[in-house]
């Protein structure tokens, strides 16, 4: 009798515990759903508020966004990035030619530059300038057919990193022609005449480029240029632009032979006739 009663009590207690646990689990699930619902609703309201005060995306920005790809940045913005996924997915490697350039030419250039002397003299020695020209430091991204190196973006990054550990001035001097410089733009979008004229001269360092984007009242945002305008006009049957601009803080401007000017193009007379569009454009000034 006592044993049977104890068994009954144990079963009753077990059932009650199960009901309590089940009820608690259900409450936790419901609370989680409620919290998630509130969070989602709050996120939507904050997004609408932010959208209301942000300026609209311009046509130029839409084009720039459409040209990009999605990589590891997608994992970062998901809030749960995986380092293993990054390591398994992205394995950039240097070619034998790129590795040799990094181990030899880059090391030699570093040995020719004394960072303290550069800071005091505000310039490189003639030997350093000539070495950069003769060994293709200004042509890392220009195709080989035009006298360039045609290196990968990873290789250019590694070269700039090593130069930066020795001299940030050398880093910036090599970085501009291989990023902001017009070489890669000309190779991809230039006319045949522009390629034939500019690319060999950019590759051998005859022309050192710079990029004029920043002005007194606007920074590096290409879609909000102020006092950097050009108007399309036709003279003697030739289309051209009348440009008015003010630029400052242009890296390499004192030694540049060609300037890529960031301008805001307008066509009030409709002279483009479907060949090109108004908005941000780049003009080359030699």
Q: Answer whether 0.95 is exceeded by the pTM.
A: no
Longest Cα–Cα distance in the chain: 118
Q: What per-residue confidence (pLDDT) applies to 13? A: 46
- Residues near 163 by Cβ (< 8 Å), separated by ≥ 6? 106, 109, 110, 170, 171, 174
Q: What per-residue confidence (pLDDT) applies to 65? A: 67
The four Cα atoms 247, 250, 256, 262 give a dihedral, to 10 degrees, of -50
Give the SS3 label for residue 147: coil
Q: What per-residue confidence (pLDDT) applies to 7? A: 46
Of 226, 52, 205, which Cα lies nearest the Cα of 135?
A: 205
- pLDDT tens sequence for the chain (286 residues): 444 444 444 444 445 444 544 555 555 566 565 655 666 676 777 777 877 777 777 666 676 666 666 777 777 877 788 888 888 877 788 999 999 999 999 999 999 999 999 999 999 999 999 999 999 999 999 999 999 999 998 999 999 999 999 999 999 999 999 987 788 888 888 889 999 999 999 999 999 998 887 878 777 666 667 777 888 888 888 888 888 888 888 888 889 888 888 888 888 888 888 777 787 788 888 8
CA end-to-end distance (rounded Å), the chain = 108
Calpha distance 62→279 (Å, rounded): 12
Helix axes 153-166, 105-112, angle to 10 degrees: 30
């Amino acid at each position: 009798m006592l044993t049977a009663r104890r068994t009954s009590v144990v079963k009753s207690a077990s059932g009650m515990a199960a009901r309590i646990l089940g009820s608690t689990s259900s409450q936790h699930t419901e609370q989680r759903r409620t919290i998630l619902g509130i969070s989602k609703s709050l996120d939507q309201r904050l997004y609408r508020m932010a959208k209301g005060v942000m300026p609209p995306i311009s046509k130029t920005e839409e084009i720039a966004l459409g040209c990009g790809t999605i990589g590891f940045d997608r994992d970062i913005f998901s809030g749960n990035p995986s380092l293993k996924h990054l390591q398994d997915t992205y394995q950039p490697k240097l070619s034998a030619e790129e590795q040799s350039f990094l181990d030899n030419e880059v090391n030699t250039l570093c040995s020719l530059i004394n960072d303290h002397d550069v800071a005091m003299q505000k310039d490189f020695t003639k030997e350093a300038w000539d070495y950069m020209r003769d060994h293709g430091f200004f042509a890392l991204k220009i195709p080989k057919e035009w006298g360039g190196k045609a290196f990968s973006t990873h290789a250019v990054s590694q070269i700039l990193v090593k130069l930066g550990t020795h001299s940030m001035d050398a880093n910036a001097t090599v970085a501009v022609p291989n990023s902001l410089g017009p070489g890669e733009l000309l190779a991809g979008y230039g006319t045949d005449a522009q390629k034939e004229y500019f690319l060999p001269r950019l590759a051998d360092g005859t022309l050192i480029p710079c990029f004029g984007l920043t002005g007194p009242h606007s920074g590096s945002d290409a879609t909000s240029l102020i006092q950097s305008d050009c108007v399309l006009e036709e003279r003697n049957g030739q289309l051209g632009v009348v440009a008015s601009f003010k630029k400052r803080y242009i890296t390499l401007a004192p030694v540049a032979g060609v300037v890529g000017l960031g301008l805001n193009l307008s066509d009030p007379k409709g002279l483009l006739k479907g060949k090109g569009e108004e908005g941000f454009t780049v003009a080359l000034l030699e």
